[in-house]
Amino acid sequence: MGLRESFEKLFNNHSETSEQHWDKQLQTHYFKTTKDKAFQTIESYFRNKPGCDIIATSKEHGEISLFFKGKRKTFIIITIIMVKPFQTAVDFSVTTESVIPFDLGYSHKLIPKLYNQLKKEMPYIENIR
């Protein structure tokens, strides 16, 4: 992690996962399930999670939008895409809501925690690349 990435991590209020992210923890995670099962599992998980308020779901687009009230209030968009049979990608976009325009890495740290919770709910595919 270079100076630019460290600065971006701390002085930003938004983080998202991607296929080629510089931080391995924020690279897209894949699960051995179908899109419909993953969508149902993720939606059910966040409906039952304290502090979560699901705003919208779109099964056709594979997106779930929610507010999460942890240490800070965050807006999360979860994207679920089936890339192959029984290989489903899950991506997060997390924006922290606060008075100041940065969150000192909170959104960046929240994504791996959410992925770890989903790994308990669905079979994770480790070596996809």
- Contact of 67 with 75, CB cutoff 8 Å: yes
pLDDT digits (tens, 9 = 90+) for 62-93: 999 999 997 889 999 999 999 999 999 999 99
- Contact of 27 with 33, CB cutoff 8 Å: no
The continuous run of DSSP H or E covering 125 comes out as strand 124-125
Q: What pLDDT sits at residue 12?
A: 80
pTM equals 0.90
The one-letter code for the residue type at 59 is K
- Lowest-pLDDT choice from 1-15, 20-34, 40-54: 1-15
